[in-house]
Every structure is written in structure tokens, then in C-alpha cells.
Amino acid sequence: MEYGIGRVSGIDMDSLVELFNDAYSDYYVDVQVNPARLRGLIEREDIQVDNSFVAYEGQLPVGVVFLGVRGKRGYICGMGVRTSRQRRGVGELLMRRALSESRRLGLSSVQLEVVAANRRAIALYSKLGFVPVRDLGLWERNTPPPAQASGSVPADHGTRTRRDDVTAPLQTEVRVGAVRMAGVLPLVDAFNEIRPCWQNEAQSLVKMSDRLVGYVSHVDSAATAYVVFGDSAGGLYVADFAAAPRLVSAQRQSMCEILLSAVDRDVPRMSAKAFNIPLQGYQEAVLRARGFDLTLAQQEMVLCLKWR
């Protein structure tokens, strides 16, 4: 079968939504979209509709790949083939087209996240040279927030508490305060040794800043940790958190627990979610301590197109 390829900018929104929803109809999590949600995704994740592709069987759109671009980095934001047309080479055709476009644009890397159980997608990405770089988790809590992190969090923002009662304590006072997003975003880059996944990095968070709140902890005048979160009818959404890399792991955990405790105190929601937070580090320990369970593991994969 010969397939035609067109650009996402050349397809109407209703057909694109129908194609996307068909391709993701039996997916691991509900990612069904409507036009407004898909437009939001395109805008938030810097999807380039002129550099993203649709495969056609005659007039019928049968597959789509979305390429996001930030500087020299590319991101496969979504890739799917109509269920009735899978296993016929369409996915590979589209991915190869997206990668040749990435090279043409001079990108140095392309990254993506894939559900760890999605063996067919992982097989496709591995075949094309992507390698796993780390594990991320989707986290959920559907129980009342646990008690405050030991050592208690200040009752009011800006007040002080002693933190001399926790493991690996800093033996000093921690202040927690709400901060404008513009004040938090530099910390997202400074506090993460590997930048957060595409949806949680500063370039994404800035686009949601009207819906997100930032809390930052300080010891003396130095920022020690941040959390960015949102509150909606669906519950609490923890978009991202991290602590200063100059602290040891136990201190980073302790600082983030203080912040997430402060969030739970101020926005006490039974239902809470956190997306694509790294596994096997202090961030996982923080979420578990705050009552979250892992609901889905993801793999972050990267393909280097240029070596320095």
C-alpha cells in the first residue's frame, strides 16, 4: 500500500481530532481530545503544525505524528495510527518523516515519553535509535492528605519554623512562601540536573502560569526548593517540584515534603495528581510520603541527531 504524507497544517481540525481519538482509542490512559483541548496541547507543547505530519490512504487520514520544537530540541508530542491501519508500516513511515524533518531543521536531539508497558511503541522507537534515559511516573492520591511533614510547616506563609527534628536536618529555619510564577521558573532550570519532561519544563509551565501557583522554601536568603501546582474541580495538580542540587538527597526530600505539606494544608484536596515525576530519586520518596501511589510508569527516550 502506498501512503501519502501531508503536513498537520493542511488538515482540518475536526478530521485531526477524529484521527487522534481513533489512534488513541484503546490507550493506557484517557487522552481523548476535542478541538479546544488539541489546540491547547499544540500551543502549550510548542507543536509545529508545519513540521508535523499526517499519513493518508487515499483521502483517509490514517496516522499522525506531532513534532514540538524548542531551540535545538525536538519532541514527539504524540504519534498514533488509526487502529484499523496499525502494523502496516504507517507508524514507522511517519516517524522517519518526523526525524528527517528534525534533521532538516538542524535539531540536535529528539525526545519523547512512552508508557513503559507500550511494547510496540518502544519497539518502534528503539528500531529508530531512541534510547531510554530515565523512568517517570504518573502519580495519584485519592485519600485525605497525610499529616504535615514532621517538624511542622509554618502556620502562615512567611513565618519561620525550626527544622532540627528530621533526618539529615539542616539545623536551621525554613521559610515557605507563595511566589509569582516568574520567580519560580528560573528555579526549574537551576534545581533539576536533568530538566523536567517536556510538559513540565519552564517553557510549558510559563504558558499555564495563569492557572498555576508557586511556593518556594528558603533557608536564610537562599531558595532551597519549589513546587508548582494548580487546583481545579478535578482536584490538586502538582505540576513539578524540586530542591536545590547543593543539598544532599535527604535534605532535598525534606525540603520538598515541607512544601508539599504546605500545599496540602492550604489546598486540602483528597484527589491529587502529579505527572511524569522521575522515579527512583528523592522526588518519588516525597510523593510516597505525601500519600501518592504510582499509577503508570513512563520511559523518557532520546535520539541524538548531532554530537558535539
Ligand X SMILES: CC(C)(COP(=O)(O)OP(=O)(O)OC[C@H]1O[C@@H](n2cnc3c(N)ncnc32)[C@H](O)[C@@H]1OP(=O)(O)O)[C@@H](O)C(=O)NCCC(=O)NCCS
Q: Which helix (H) or strand (E) holds 222?
A: strand 222-232
Terminal CA-to-CA distance of the chain, rounded, Å? 40
Among 37, 96, 103, 120, binds ligand X (CB under 6 A): 120
d(CA 174, CA 297) in angstroms, rounded, equals 33
Query: Amino acid identity, residue 216?
Result: V
Smallest separation, CB 55 to ligand X (Å): 9
- Taking CA atoms, 304 is separated from 74, 107, 116, 132, 266, in Å, by 10, 9, 21, 12, 43
271 is a site residue for ligand X (CB under 6 A): no
Min separation Cβ 27 and ligand X, Å: 6
How far is C-alpha 49 from the chain's CA centre? 21
Phi, psi at 220, each rounded to 5° = 55, -130
Shortest Cβ 108–ligand X spacing (Å): 21
* Shortest CB 290 distance to ligand X, Å: 28
Binding mask 78-97 for ligand X (x = CB under 6 A): -xxx----xxxxxxx-----
Residue number, 126 or 159, with CB nearest to ligand X: 126
CB contact at 8 A, 239 and 230? yes
The CB-of-129 to ligand X minimum distance in angstroms stands at: 12
24 binds ligand X (CB under 6 A): yes
Q: Is 23 in the site for ligand X (CB under 6 A)?
A: yes
| Identity of the residue, 248 or 297, whose beta carbon is nearer to ligand X in the bound complex | 297
CA 2 to chain centre: 36
In whole angstroms, give the CA distance from residue 17 to residue 203. 25
Q: Rule CB under 6 A: is residue 127 a binding residue for ligand X?
A: yes
Q: Is 128 in the site for ligand X (CB under 6 A)?
A: no
Does position 195 bind ligand X by CB under 6 A? no
Total binding residues for ligand X by CB under 6 A? 20
| DSSP reduced 3-state for 253 | helix
Q: Does 296 bind ligand X (CB under 6 A)?
A: no
Residues in contact with ligand X by the rule CB under 6 A: 23-24, 27, 79-81, 86-92, 114, 118, 120-121, 123-124, 127
